[in-house]
Structure 1
Amino acid sequence: MADTQPVLVVTEPLDITADMVITHLNQRDVPVVRFNPADLPVGDLTVTARFGGCPASAPVAGQLRIPSRTADLEHLRAVYWRRPIWPAFDRLDADDARYAAAQVRHGLAGTLYSLDHPLWVNHPASNAAADYKPAQLAAAVRCGLTVPATLITNDPGEARQFITTHRRVISKTLRWTPYERAGIGLTSWAEPVTADEVDDSAAVAPHLFQARVDKVADLRVLVVGRQSFAVRIDSGLLDWRKDYSALSYTVVDLPSRLERALLACLDHFGIPSGSFDLALDRDGEPQWPELNPNGQWGWLEEKTGLPMAAAFADLLAQGDNPDDARYRD
């Protein structure tokens, strides 16, 4: 028997953050169907979708089944798209694996994308659009946020001129990408850069250069629906992600002007949730580093006690019915 208006949770098996939200959904008696796309080839996930010949009110009908539960596609409450892993088909040869992987993405993901009635937190296509740093920067300016002078270029001369003009400049990746050298995984941090460090190899790909903020602390803001949770992070580090043991946390209230700007930024990309990183300068003014549309936040709830998982559960339980005043402007 299908669960009545379940929430789909799409994520990898060992996702503690998703577990936190599911716990709160269980407490609210909201049915949950959790799966990972990688379960499909091993027989633990089945999708069946019908198009055409369905009732006029149901442009798509069908079921998504896991061993313990079944969800009717036309009766989903919400989709919580967290950190899914797609099947790699390692046992197939390269051409067959590439073919099968494309069929899974376009068959499974395409079926889910065809559904316009459940609430998405967040829709993968919207996440992808919001994940482009140039688009973030332009949206932040449009929404009235302070953006440090930033240059994206693969012209070494332009990069050197920018650094000479602004003097204190950092470089950071446009997109985090798994990277190994000699079998060792490497992580790219925001790092200071000087003009003489930019050589002609910079022409190979665009790089992001940004005037360094004279910051005293960082601000991490999670927005869930229309709720915001703001945490000041003190570390003394240029990039606080380098050493979590050096961090201290303080819950703060957001100025209403800043909160409105962050909500407007999410609305611009059509996503109900996102994690913002801001740098607080010596005057206490927040300046824009970036938006992570699907950022981690579980450790912040553990450190501060802020009810972040409960907020996600409330939003997902509400689904696409905006009756709850907590999520209206």
Structure 2
Amino acid sequence: MSGQTIVKSKTCMQMVMKWLLTLFRDYTTEEIPQIVLLTFDDSANDLNKGLYSDLFEKGRTNPNGCPIAATFYVSHEWTDYSHVQNLYASGHEIASHSISHSFGEQFSQKKWTKEISGQREILAAYGGVKLEDVRGMRAPFLAVGGNKMFKMLYDSNFTYDSSMPVYENRPPSFPYTLDYKLFHDCMIPPCPTRSYPGVWEVPMVMWQDLNGGRCSMGDACSNPPTADGVYKMLIKNFERHYTTNRAPFGLFYHAAWFTQIHHKEGFIAFLDTLVAMKDVWLVSNWQAIQWVRDPTPLSRINNFPPFQCDYQV
């Protein structure tokens, strides 16, 4: 690594630390809402409709009375776009997960545009999602495409990516912009090596399973064989965020994980624990980015415009 690169990396880290110091100078940890990001990857269809109904149509709300929200990274193959329409109409965020769901490490920028921006157009055409509301992406298999992928995001006016795992440090990472070069270790290369002003990264903060093993998605962990064990693992990882700096806590899944009954039971018990807490908010990635742009304390969060909804349940 050159001296110039080291200086730029240090500058980026200093900017991040300055933001965090400002946040914690203005507010104590107890005044910061604990944001939880529930996301699902891949197709939306009849196979997962029942799961989403069980999670989102049972009256679970955030403290302001608005329904809890998730982000769906939708790929084209096997998707029934009537389900996308329903999820979008219910207040969830719809994001691009590509057309072909292929490994993209070697894609050209043109191919990334076809896959990610092309899926945005399909979501708008067949899913009824406003083109400008498809703001984010996740790379299939978390196979990030380095500078070519991020240049595509920049040129195509996407707001964010959420494909890059980061270590589960104490304290964990907040979402950040790529106004400066990447300041953390690259877990799955190739990562971007240039800056992309205005493009955000919502990092996939890694978990630890009950044996200390690391995983970047909840369904990639070594999951316990009982619902109680699943619940304990979720609580363990949640508390790393809740008891330190309250960086957004990610619940990153594929719907197939929930076909194991004890997985679903443990998760729903955890979800019900969260919605009973008055300082926890389950919101979309885009809503989380808006909070990071304008950190608002719990005393004023009920009236924070990005957390509002058109209806209450």
Query: Whose RCO is larger (CA < 8 A, sep 6+)?
Result: 2
Task: Give the structure with the larger helix fraction.
Answer: 2
TM-score by length of 1: 0.31
TM-score normalized by the length of structure 2:
0.32
Q: Which has the larger radius of gyration?
A: 1
